[in-house]
Every structure is written in C-alpha cells, then in structure tokens.
Chain A
Amino acid sequence: MTTRDDQIRQVVAELDVHIAEVEANVAVLKALLAEGEVPGEEDPS
C-alpha cells in the first residue's frame, strides 16, 4: 500500500461524505416539492 493509495482512499472517503450530504439535502427539497403535489395537502387559498 503506497502513500498515494492512502491519499486516494482518504479523498474517496471524504467525497463519500460530501456526496451523502448533497444527496440528503436534495432528497429533502424533492420531498418538499412532492408534498406540494399531494392532493389534499395543498394550500386551499
């Protein structure tokens, strides 16, 4: 196992975390949009 391999593993692990953060936030935003599309949950005004 080389230093370069270790660095790659480290960056991949960090990428994993950041990607998961984006995916989670985007999932919430999409869920909010979907919530607005559910009949009966829309604002009646």
Chain B
Amino acid sequence: MTDVTSETLRRWRESQGWDVPRMARELRKAARDTGEDVAAHHGLVKMIPQWERGNRAPRERYRLLYLKIFEDALVLSRGAEAGVNIAVRLAEVRSRAASLPGPDQIRALEAGALAKPRKTLTPVEIRALAAEAIAQLHEVAGKLTKLSALLGDESGEDKS
C-alpha cells in the first residue's frame, strides 16, 4: 500500500460516510475478524487523523486492515465506473443508429441520384453505393438485436 496516500485514506473513509470514530470501530472490527491485536478505540481515534494528515504513516497491520475494509468497495467502484462508460458509448451508438435513414429512404436517394446523369459516379456505382448502404444497415440491425439480447432488454432498434 505504498502508493496509498494519507489523502486517499481520508477519501476512502469519507466515501463511506464514516466519521473518525466509526472508522476506528471498523478497523477494530476487521482486526477482530482476523485475530489481529490493535490499539484501543480512543487510540485509533487519535491516530486516524494523523494518518490522514500525513503526520505519521500507519503501520503495516493497519494498512492491511484498511485494504481489507475497502477492498470490496474499491472493486465495486471500479465496476460501476466501467459500467457508466459502457452506458455512455451504448447511448451514443444507439442514437447514431436511430438517426440513420431506413432502406426506403436510401432507395429514394438512389432513385434521385440516378434520375439525372452525374459527372462523379456512374449509375452502376450509384446502385452499388446504395446496395452497400442497405447491406450495412442490415448489419446495424443485426448488431442492435445482438446488443439487446446481451443487455436483456427490448429496446434495440430494427432499421431493416
């Protein structure tokens, strides 16, 4: 725990909404569970602010107790952070998928582009472009369905 700063100890405690006496009780409780011998409650109440201010460093037994107490909370916190990132990406990609034109709209664009001779693309190229767009649209629909299955919801959007 050499990379854990005194500031981190305070943040860990505050993340649980614990005051110093509660932190002392939690340390003693964790110590009881592992059969460790630790300072009395009033001693810990004095030491914890000193550790958090960086006036003195906790001994190894206390560092290990801190890790034991906050291990689960830290794992949950990292999991939640990853979940939020996925949710943001998910919302973004679904929004983009929802704004895509449907196959009929693509065919209408194709018909419009074919209606007059174009300098940049031949009719064959325009048809190929529209066909590719519709094929990719089907892929999008397939992936959205797969995503909905993974998420276990019914909110996937079918563009086909």
Contact = CB atoms under 8 A, between A and B. Distances in A.
Interface residues of B, number: 38
A14 B110 CA distance: 26
Contacts of A25: 106, 129-130, 132-133, 136
A5 B139 CA distance: 21
A7 B150 contact: yes
Interface in B8-61: none
Classify the interface of chain A: helix, strand, loop or mixed.
helix
B113 to A, nearest CB: 4
A1 B80 CA distance: 10
A7 B119 CA distance: 44
A16 B79 CA distance: 23
Interface of B: 79, 82-83, 86, 89-90, 93, 96-97, 100-101, 106, 109-110, 112-113, 115-121, 126, 129-130, 132-133, 136-137, 139-140, 143-144, 146-147, 150-151
Chain A, interface size category, equals 20 to 34
Contact of A33 (B96, B112, B119): B112
B155 to A, nearest CB: 14
A39 to B, nearest CB: 14
B149 to A, nearest CB: 9
A42 to B, nearest CB: 7
